[in-house]
Amino acid sequence: MKVLVTGGAGYIGSTVVSALAEAGAVPVVLDSLVQGRAEFAAGHSLYMGDIADVGMLDRIFAEHPDISTLMHFAARIDVEESTRLPSLYYRENLCKGAALLEEVLRRGVRRVIFSSTAAVYRGGDGSRGLPEDAPTEPLSPYARSKLMFEGVLSDLCAQFGASAVALRYFNPVGADPALRSGPYKPDPSHILGKLTGLAAVGGGEFVINGDDYPTRDGTPVRDYVHVWDLARAHLSALNYVNGAGPGCTVVNVGSGSGVTVREFVDAFMAVTGLPLTVRVGGRRPGDTAGAYADTGQAESRLGWRPERSLEEGIRDALAWEERFRAGGQGVARREERPAWG
Ligand SMILES: NC(=O)c1ccc[n+]([C@@H]2O[C@H](COP(=O)([O-])OP(=O)(O)OC[C@H]3O[C@@H](n4cnc5c(N)ncnc54)[C@H](O)[C@@H]3O)[C@@H](O)[C@H]2O)c1
Ligand SMILES: O=c1ccn([C@@H]2O[C@H](COP(=O)(O)OP(=O)(O)O[C@H]3O[C@H](CO)[C@H](O)[C@H](O)[C@H]3O)[C@@H](O)[C@H]2O)c(=O)[nH]1
Smallest CA separation from ligand 2 atom 32, residue:
209
Q: Of all atoms in ligand 1, which is nearest to the CA of residue 74?
A: 24
Would you say the CB of residue 154 lies under 6 angstroms from ligand 2?
no
- Tell me the best of 57, 115, 145 to mutate to test the pocket of ligand 1, counting ligand atoms within 8 Å of each CB and taking the most: 115
d(CA 171, CA 283): 19
How many angstroms is it from 88 CA to the middle of ligand 2?
Answer: 22
- Report the atom number in ligand 2 closest to the C-alpha of 206: 1
Ligand nearest to the CA of 292: 2
**Model confidence over 155-207: pLDDT tens digits?**
999 999 999 999 999 999 999 999 999 999 988 999 999 999 999 999 999 99
223 Cβ below 6 A of ligand 1: no
Question: Measured from the CA of 119, which atom of ligand 1 is nearest?
Answer: 6
CB of 32 sitting under 6 A from ligand 1: yes
* Å from CA of 299 to ligand 2 middle: 26
Whether the CB of 283 sits within 6 Å of ligand 2: no
* ipTM here: 0.96
Residue 287 has a pLDDT of 85
Residues of the chain with pLDDT under 50: 329-341
Closest-lying ligand 2 atom to the alpha carbon of residue 194: 1
Work out which ligand 2 atom sits closest to the CA atom of 119.
27
Residue 92 pLDDT: 98
Q: Determine whether the shortest distance from the Cβ of 278 to ligand 1 is under 6 A.
A: no
Task: Determine the distance separating the centroid of ligand 1 and the alpha carbon of 73, expressed in angstroms.
Answer: 5
36 in ligand 1 pocket by Cβ < 6 Å? yes
Residue pair 30/63 in contact (Cβ under 8 Å)? The answer is: no
Q: What is the pLDDT of residue 328?
A: 58
Tell me which residues are annotated as active site: 142
- Tell me if 299 CB under 6 Å of ligand 1: no
How far away, in angstroms, is 217 Cα from ligand 1 center? Answer: 33
Tell me the best of 31, 91, 114, 148 to mutate to test the pocket of ligand 1, counting ligand atoms within 8 Å of each CB and taking the most: 31
Q: Ligand 1 centroid to 213 CA: how many Å?
A: 30
